[in-house]
Amino acid sequence: MAKSAFNFNNYNFTFDKNEKKILSTFCKQAIKQMETDKKYAQEVAIFTSILQKLESNESEIKFTKNEKTRLGFQLRENTKQLKIRMDKANFFMRWFYKSIYIQYSNLVSNYFKD
């Protein structure tokens, strides 16, 4: 049997209410951080598109390959940085970072594994 030259992936996601809220907040923060620098115009456009899709009332969200890749990459990078901060932080800050770290790592492991 010949292998297909095409690699079709499913970019449809069904997030629950809490996951949508976490991802919406994440996208808003990313947009706010990047919108002042012109070199991030493409990333701002991608995260704005993702945010619009998350804020829609559709049960199934369809991302493009680029949107899924950028969102997954940024979530993985933020998870790594939170882990580093969590390891260096005092007790109270570690507790605060841990809740965010767990939420982000659950999203990455459930939806954005590579």
pLDDT of residue 92: 87
Q: Is the pTM of this model over 0.75?
A: yes
114 pLDDT above the threshold of 80: no
Integer Cα distance of 7 and 59 in angstroms: 25
User: How does pLDDT run across 27-78, given as a tens digit for each residue?
Assistant: 999 999 998 988 999 999 999 999 999 999 888 999 999 999 999 999 999 9
Which among 43, 55, 52 is positioned nearest to 17, based on CA atoms?
A: 55
List Cβ neighbours of 74 (8 Å cut-off, separation of 6 or more): 26, 30
Domain regions of the chain by residue span: 15-111
Q: How far is CA 38 from CA 4, 30, 34, 43, in A?
A: 40, 14, 8, 10
